[in-house]
Amino acid sequence: MSRLIALARNTFREAVRDRVLYSILFFAIGVIGLSLVMQEITVGDREKVVRSVAQGAIAAFGSLIAIFLGISLVFKEVERKTVYTILSKPISRWTFVLGKYLGMMMTIAVQVGVMMVVYTVLLTIQQSVPPPVVYVSAGLLLMELMLLTAWATLFSTYSGPTTAAGFTLAVFLIGHLADDIWTFGNQLDSAAAVEVARALYWVLPNFEMFNIRAHAVHELPIPWDQVLGASAYGLCYTAAVLGVAMLVFERRDLK
Amino acid sequence: MIPAISTKNLGKIYRVGFFMRRVEGLRDLSLDVGQGEAFGFIGPNGAGKTTTIKILMGLHRATSGSASLFGVDVNESNARKRVGFLPERPYFYEHLSAREVLHFYGQLSDIDAAERTERIEALLDRVQLTRFADVSLSKYSKGMLQRVGLCQTLLHDPDLIVLDEPMSGLDPVGRALVRDLIIEQRDAGKTVFFSSHILSDVEAICDRVAIVVGGSLRECGPIEDVVADRESLEAVLVGEMQKAVDESRLGVL
């Protein structure tokens, strides 16, 4: 356990010393701040527009950070050969992958946390204290990023950052279109095609399950059924993807 | 007594290129290194030395045969509990300082905080890095990184020390420091297993040597037996390399 913590803490420390990460974070905070200006140039329910743009920015930049950090998580260690001295200690490969992943999740959680603090301060000044549904929505966003990072970690166990970025981005986009795959499949004439579409729907991640931003923007009651279902789904799916990542890394020769 | 290192018919086949061409990296390597021995592992480039070491350290998986450290299969992470490893050209996290990186390795070896601090300071002092201990590793020279590498190798006071080309690319002062540290460990009763191109160092440090050429073990034994009536260890190595070329031409290999 102490080895796992050491690996996670070191991954976190490496990430927070990365200047590129700060650039993304400052840009994200800038966009959240700019959302306040949106109400000056919009018509209709101005307050909701501000909330929608700001929460959308948090989700978009959170995903960007997860992809950016996750795609080189394991690959970088192998490429830079830092893995040699680490795995020559009594550390199993699965501990290494899990430790790196947990460190990355700590980093992402802190980034989302910082963005949420900025959002809370700005909204409190401009409108009112955000209701709890906003924070539950942010919690589900973290669940989504947990799954997205697990996919990025899986790709980084066997491919370089460019390939891993392509695959992770594809998973991200498909995951947000999963409901469309289901709808599209049900409209097909061929029974086999319907089955293929349904199989794809169940195998591919469904990131929209984690999306309750409409509730957060409109300040509706918390949809607990969706929150609990999505949390269970996110935990199980993440564990499965990480399990595959560990298996892949276990068999690899580290050049 | 259980050998510190034992390999039985160890083999490694790599698949390279688009058509997965088969390249034999190691063939039927059987070797025992006793506890407390200083053992030199020599051979030309591409002989299979680093492949063997990587299999022992769990970085590569053997295609055939088996290997163990103190009787524990190398595929189990616990096999490396009593092992310190210095790879050829060690790489570390450049965002950390020497002190930070050594604390990290100490945590990975499960050394408690007080003992860790004490050992780190003693080792930094021994390799003359105390003055630069809080400087980021990105600013270190190659020789300084090698010294940090030695510190992480010895940090948990391992019984077996595996060194892959520890003197490569070092200046004479760095080489002397590394050689002295290896001799210290040998004299303290530790098992030292190291590969090197610098045969004078091997002759000065080791009790026994193994010569690998083309992935096969060609000679193994005490240095004086291996050299026998030949001029030097270098002459033996060159002779074995020539023999391997001749056998290859005749289709023996």
Nearest to B59 among A7, A84, A89 (CB): A84
Average pLDDT (B6-25) is 87
Average pLDDT (B185-201) is 88
Residue B33 has pLDDT above 90, yes or no: yes
Residue B133 has pLDDT above 70, yes or no: yes
Write the CA distances from A127 to A80, A136, B209, B213, integer angstroms.
49, 19, 78, 76
Residue B208 has pLDDT above 80, yes or no: yes
Q: Do B110 and A3 touch (CB under 8 A)?
A: yes
Which residues have CB under 8 Å from A70's CB, separation 6+? Answer: A104, A148, A149, A151, A152, A153, A156, A164, A168
Percentage of chain A beyond pLDDT 90 is 43
- Give contacts of A247 with chain B, Cβ < 8 Å: none
ipTM of the complex, rounded to two decimals? 0.86
Q: Do B77 and A91 touch (CB under 8 A)?
A: yes
Q: How far apart are CA B226 and CA A48, in angstroms?
A: 84
Residue A157 has pLDDT above 80, yes or no: yes
The CB-side HSE value for B17 (13 A sphere, CA atoms) comes to: 4
- To 10 degrees, the CA torsion angle through A201, A207, A208, A209? 90
Instruction: Identify the top-confidence range among A42-46, A75-79, B153-157, B168-172.
Output: B153-157
Q: Which tokens is A7 given?
A: 């690996």
Residue, of B134 and A74, whose pLDDT is higher: B134
Quick one: pLDDT band at residue A169, thresholds 50, 70, 90? very high
Average pLDDT (B142-166) is 92
Strands B208-213 and B38-42: parallel
**Do A161 and A75 form a contact (C-beta atoms < 8 A)?**
yes
What residue has token string 């289709």? B251
- Give contacts of B60 with chain A, Cβ < 8 Å: 253-254
H/E run at residue B105: helix B98-108
Q: B161 - beta bridge partners?
A: B84, B192
- Give contacts of A82 with chain B, Cβ < 8 Å: 91-93
Average pLDDT (B34-61) is 91
Per-residue three-class SS string for chain A: CHHHHHHHHHHHHHHHCCHHHHHHHHHHHHHHHHHHHHCCCCCCCHHHHHHHHHHHHHHHHHHHHHHHHHCCCCHHHHHCCHHHHHHCCCCCHHHHHHHHHHHHHHHHHHHHHHHHHHHHHHHHHHCCCCCHHHHHHHHHHHHHHHHHHHHHHHHHCCCCHHHHHHHHHHHHHHHHCHHHHHHHHHCCCCHHHHHHHHHHHHHCCCHHHHCCHHHHHHCCCCCHHHHHHHHHHHHHHHHHHHHHHHHHHHHCCCC
Q: Do A89 and B54 touch (CB under 8 A)?
A: no
Among chain B residues, the shortest Cα distance to A11 is held by: B93
- Does any CB of chain B come closer than 8 Å to the CB of residue A1? no
Whole-number average pLDDT of chain B: 88
Quick one: pLDDT band at residue B10, thresholds 50, 70, 90? very high
Nearest to A89 among B59, B60, B105 (CB): B105
Q: What is the identity of the amino acid at B202?
A: V
- Give contacts of A81 with chain B, Cβ < 8 Å: 87, 89-91
What residue has token string 């610098």? B198
Residue B253 has pLDDT above 60, yes or no: no
pLDDT in tens, B87-118: 988 888 888 899 999 999 999 999 999 999 99
Return the minimum-mean-pLDDT range out of A19-33, B183-197, B216-230.
A19-33
Nearest to A89 among B61, B108, B162 (CB): B108
Write the CA distances from B208 to A62, A74, B32, B179, integer angstroms.
57, 38, 11, 17
- Give contacts of A21 with chain B, Cβ < 8 Å: none
Average pLDDT (A119-133) is 87
- Does any CB of chain A come closer than 8 Å to the CB of residue B39? no
Q: What pLDDT is stored for residue A238 in this prediction?
A: 96
Q: What pLDDT is stored for residue B11 in this prediction?
A: 92
How many contiguous H segments (helices) and E segments (strands) does chain B have?
8, 10
**A83-122 residues touching B, CB cutoff 8 A:** 83-93, 95
Which residues have CB under 8 Å from A133's CB, separation 6+? Answer: A212, A215, A216, A219, A220, A221, A222
Q: What pLDDT is stored for residue A69 in this prediction?
A: 87
Quick one: pLDDT band at residue A253, thresholds 50, 70, 90? confident
**Do B39 and B33 form a contact (C-beta atoms < 8 A)?**
yes
CA B59 to the chain's CA centroid:
13
Quick one: pLDDT band at residue B251, thresholds 50, 70, 90? low
Q: B23 - beta bridge partners?
A: B14
**Do B161 and B38 form a contact (C-beta atoms < 8 A)?**
no
- Does any CB of chain B come closer than 8 Å to the CB of residue A253? yes
Which residues have CB under 8 Å from B101's CB, separation 6+? Answer: B92, B93, B137, B148, B152
Q: Do A254 and B90 touch (CB under 8 A)?
A: no
Output phi, psi for A29, to 5 deg: -65, -40
Average pLDDT (B13-37) is 88
Give SS3 for B213: strand
Give SS3 for B205: helix
Average pLDDT (A61-81) is 87
Percentage of chain B beyond pLDDT 90 is 49
Nearest Cα residue to B186 out of B5, B4, B2, B35: B35
Average pLDDT (A55-60) is 89
H/E run at residue B206: none
Q: What pLDDT is stored for residue B202 in this prediction?
A: 87
Nearest Cα residue to B98 out of B134, B147, B143, B144: B134
Quick one: pLDDT band at residue B231, thresholds 50, 70, 90? confident
Average pLDDT (B168-175) is 81
Percentage of chain A beyond pLDDT 70 is 99
Quick one: pLDDT band at residue A36, thresholds 50, 70, 90? confident
Average pLDDT (A62-89) is 88
Nearest Cα residue to A230 out of A149, A157, A167, A142: A142
Nearest to B77 among A5, A13, A92 (CB): A92
Number of Cβ pairs < 8 A linking chain A and chain B? 82
Q: What pLDDT is stored for residue B252 in this prediction?
A: 56
Give SS3 for B41: strand
Instruction: Identify the top-confidence range among B156-165, B166-175, B229-238.
Output: B156-165
What residue has token string 């210290």? B184
Return the minimum-mean-pLDDT range out of A21-35, A66-80, A192-206, B63-77.
A21-35
**Do A83 and A254 form a contact (C-beta atoms < 8 A)?**
yes
Average pLDDT (B134-148) is 90
Give SS3 for B144: helix
Whole-number average pLDDT of chain A: 88
Return the minimum-mean-pLDDT range out of A19-28, A209-218, B97-106, B192-201.
A19-28
The DSSP secondary-structure symbol of B81 reads T
